[in-house]
Chain A
Amino acid sequence: DTEVTQTPKHLVMGMTNKKSLKCEQHMGHRAMYWYKQKAKKPPELMFVYSYEKLSINESVPSRFSPECPNSSLLNLHLHALQPEDSALYLCASSPRRQGDTQYFGPGTRLTVL
C-alpha cells in the first residue's frame, strides 16, 4: 500500500458545527502532516507529527485541533470555523528522515458557510 487516504472528500459545515477530517497511511511512515491550500496557492504547513507526537504547530488557530491516535492515523478536529477557513486540507506522510519526500493524500475540500 503506497498511498495516503483522506476522508471525507468534501465537507460542508456551518460555523457552529464540529467535524473531523481523517487521514490514513500504511507505508510505515512515522511523520505525518496537515497542510491547508487555498485556490491557486501552494500548500501551507499547519502541523507536523513525528512518532505520534506533535512537533510543529505553525501558529494555527485553536479552532483546528490535530490528533494522532497511532502511527497510521491522523485527524484534524474542526470547531467554530470561519468562512475564510474554506480550503483544501491535505494530509501527507514521510518516513521521518532528513530530506524525506512527503507523499500527499487527495485532500478534503472544506466549505464553511
Chain B
Amino acid sequence: GESVGLHLPTLSVQEGDNSIINCAYSNSASDYFIWYKQESGKGPQFIIDIRSNMDKRQGQRVTVLLNKTVKHLSLQIAATQPGDSAVYFCAENSGGYQKVTFGTGTKLQVIP
C-alpha cells in the first residue's frame, strides 16, 4: 500500500555539524509534505513544510528538499545543536482533506 518511510531510524551527529534526515514516500498523488519534531514527552512540533510545486524551501537553520522524480524528501539542519535532539517525522498529505500520513520517524542524537 501507499506509505511514507525513512531510511535511517537513528542518526548521531556532532554538535555544530549539519544533519540530513531522509524520507521516502510512495504516494505520487501527495502534494504537501511536512516535517515535525517530537521531543520526549511532547507532541509533534511543526518545523517546515513544502508543496509539490516547489523543490526547496528554507527556514531558520532548516531546509527541506523535495525530489518528486524519486519520491524523496529530506530535512537539512544547519549547525546542529543539542536542542535539536528529538525524533523527526516526515508526513504527507495526498490532497482532498486533512488526512496526513506520518513516516516511521528518525531519532536524531546530537553529540556534544
A residues whose Cβ falls under 8 Å from a Cβ of B: 4, 6, 31, 33, 40-45, 48, 50, 55-56, 90, 92, 94, 96, 98-107, 109
A101:B49 contact, CB within 8 angstroms: yes
Residues of A close to B97: CB separation below 8 A: 48, 55-56, 98
| A100 and B46 within 8 A (CB) | no
User: In whole angstroms, how far apart are the Cα atoms of A33 and B43 in the complex?
Assistant: 13
Residue of A nearest to B33 (CB): A99
Number of A-B contacts (CB under 8 A): 61
A90 to B45, CA, bound (A): 12
B43 contacts A31, CB within 8 Å? no
In the complex the two chains form, is B42's CB within 8 Å of A107's CB?
yes
Decide if the interface of chain B is mainly helix, strand, loop or mixed. loop
Residues on B with C-beta less than 8 A from A31 are: 98
- B26-60: contact bitstring with A at CB < 8 Å (1 yes, 0 no)? 00000110101000011111100101000000000
B98/A104 in contact, CB under 8 A: no
Q: Say whether A100 contacts B45, CB under 8 Å.
A: no
| B95 contacts the other chain (CB 8 A) | yes
| A40 CB contacts on chain B under 8 angstroms | 105
Partner of A42 from the list B31, B34, B103 (CB cut-off 8 Å) is B103
